[in-house]
């Protein structure tokens, strides 16, 4: 079986990269942009860093901001109608995963109208046409949605998140400018950064991992471990390192999948609206412990990439312990909570059922029973 790699046709990296948004719109001959960005980014002037450039260049655009942190089916449906009414021929997605995931779903439905029922896109949908061209400008260093073939939508009615995987949703351009991330508060920086670390570690230990994605994931783990603490303190070098590290993690995991951590995190967010990055971070040492006997020598390389010294002189148990301890220490240093008081005993059965049905679960290196998943959820109970 062949291994596939799907990446952006073009990406820009580094301070000041947002200048390229205008150049790319002109180069592609687009006439009007549909700017998708969440209300807080508009309120605090982050979106304006890009729309000001569009104004200066005389490029027409409309703004769509009906986007929740965990975007819903309704956000997508409203966005499809707004796009149809806008007369736009491209999407400029400005934000974290929420803005980019919403943009992907809108773009896919516009060009594949037979999938107007958002739920029909769950899993690997057989769409035939590339989505509306997306220029993605991330404002968080975590989801890497600008370089992935995945997006996640919340079904409020059924209290679940569903993952959509589609090579047709890949943004044509990613503009990864660390200066767009400098306004992130500490808590969001920490949560999105730990989401990126989870992408890298899960992607490195998933069933489908192979040499090319290993290269991406190990470098991402190294960059994130080195830079996240400084990014939380809003240091320039930390922001730059995280902007690159999270993108490189996306280059890997998008092509091989994730595992049980993300399956449980999606479930937690759907039921309790827990921020996705926080959920991933809380489950990361738990899921690593669960999978440890199924990871061969890989946790040695995780420990090494996280800066643990002397791993070549450690026993297998010692380097596995060291990798998990390094994750716990980083999580603690950036202020990630260890428990969630919203989880109720009577919810555990449904939480476990939903996690085992999540599209990320099949990539996990170890099979899990419902009872084992319940036990992992219970570990987060206050």
> Residue holding tokens 């990630």?
336
**For 235, which DSSP code?**
-
Could you tell me whether strands 10-13 and 173-176 are parallel, antiparallel, or unpaired per DSSP bridges?
A: parallel
186-379 belongs to which homologous superfamily? Dehydroquinate synthase-like - alpha domain (1.20.1090.10)
- pTM comes to 0.96
Question: By CB neighbour count within 10 A (0-12 exposed, 13-18 middle, 19+ buried), where does 182 fall?
Answer: middle
Q: Please check whether the two domains, 10-180 and 186-379, share a CATH topology.
A: no
**Any idea what the Cα angle at residue 211 is, between residues 5 and 363, rounded to 5°?**
70
- What tokens appear for 35 in the block? 């700017």
CATH level 3 topology of 10-180: Rossmann fold (3.40.50)
User: Phi/psi of residue 94, each to 5°?
Assistant: -120, 115
The residue among 77, 151, 145 whose CA lies nearest residue 121 is: 151
Q: Where are the domains of the chain?
A: 10-180, 186-379
Please list the pLDDT of the chain residue by residue as tens digits (382 residues): 899 999 999 999 999 999 999 999 999 999 999 999 999 999 999 999 999 999 999 999 999 999 998 899 999 999 999 999 999 999 999 999 999 999 999 999 999 999 999 999 999 999 999 999 999 999 999 999 999 999 999 999 998 889 999 999 999 999 999 999 998 999 999 999 999 999 999 999 999 999 999 999 999 999 999 999 999 999 999 999 999 999 999 999 999 999 999 999 999 999 999 999 999 999 999 999 999 999 999 999 999 999 999 999 999 999 999 999 999 999 999 999 999 999 999 999 999 999 999 999 999 999 999 999 999 999 999 7
User: Phi/psi of residue 134, each to 5°?
Assistant: -115, 130
């Amino acid at each position: 079986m062949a291994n596939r790699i799907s990446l952006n046709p073009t990406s820009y990296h580094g301070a000041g990269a947002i200048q390229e948004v205008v150049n790319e719109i002109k180069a592609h001959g687009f006439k009007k942009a549909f700017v998708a960005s969440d209300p807080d980014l508009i309120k605090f002037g982050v979106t304006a860093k890009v729309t000001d450039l569009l104004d200066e260049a005389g490029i027409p655009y409309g703004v769509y901001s009906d986007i929740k942190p965990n975007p819903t089916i309704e956000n997508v449906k409203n966005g499809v109608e707004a796009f149809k009414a806008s007369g736009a021929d491209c999407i400029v997605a400005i934000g974290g995963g929420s803005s980019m995931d919403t943009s992907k779903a809108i773009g896919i439905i516009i060009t594949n109208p037979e999938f107007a029922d958002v739920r029909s896109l769950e899993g690997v949908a057989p769409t035939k046409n590339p989505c509306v061209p997306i220029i993605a400008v991330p404002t968080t260093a975590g989801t890497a949605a600008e370089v992935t073939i995945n997006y996640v939508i919340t079904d409020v009615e059924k209290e679940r998140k569903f993952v959509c995987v589609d090579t047709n949703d890949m943004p044509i351009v990613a503009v990864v400018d660390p200066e767009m991330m400098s306004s992130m508060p500490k808590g969001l920086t920490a949560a999105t950064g730990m989401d990126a670390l989870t992408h890298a570690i899960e992607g490195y230990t998933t069933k489908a991992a192979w040499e090319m994605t290993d290269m991406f994931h190990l470098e991402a783990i190294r960059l994130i471990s080195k830079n996240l603490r400084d990014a939380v303190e809003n240091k320039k070098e930390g922001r730059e390192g995280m902007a690159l590290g999270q993108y490189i993690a996306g280059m890997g995991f998008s092509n091989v999948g994730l595992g049980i951590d993300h399956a449980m995190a999606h479930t937690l967010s759907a039921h309790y609206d827990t921020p996705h990055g926080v959920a991933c971070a809380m489950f990361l040492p738990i899921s690593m412990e669960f999978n440890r006997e199924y990871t061969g020598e890989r946790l040695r390389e995780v420990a090494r990439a996280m800066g643990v010294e002397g791993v070549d002189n450690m026993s297998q148990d010692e380097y596995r312990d060291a990798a998990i301890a390094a994750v716990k220490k980083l999580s603690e240093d950036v202020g990630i909570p260890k428990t969630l008081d919203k989880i109720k005993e009577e919810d555990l059965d449904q939480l476990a059922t939903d996690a085992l049905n999540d599209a990320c679960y099949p990539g996990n290196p170890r099979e899990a029973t419902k009872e084992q998943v319940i036990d992992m959820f219970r570990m987060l109970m206050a």
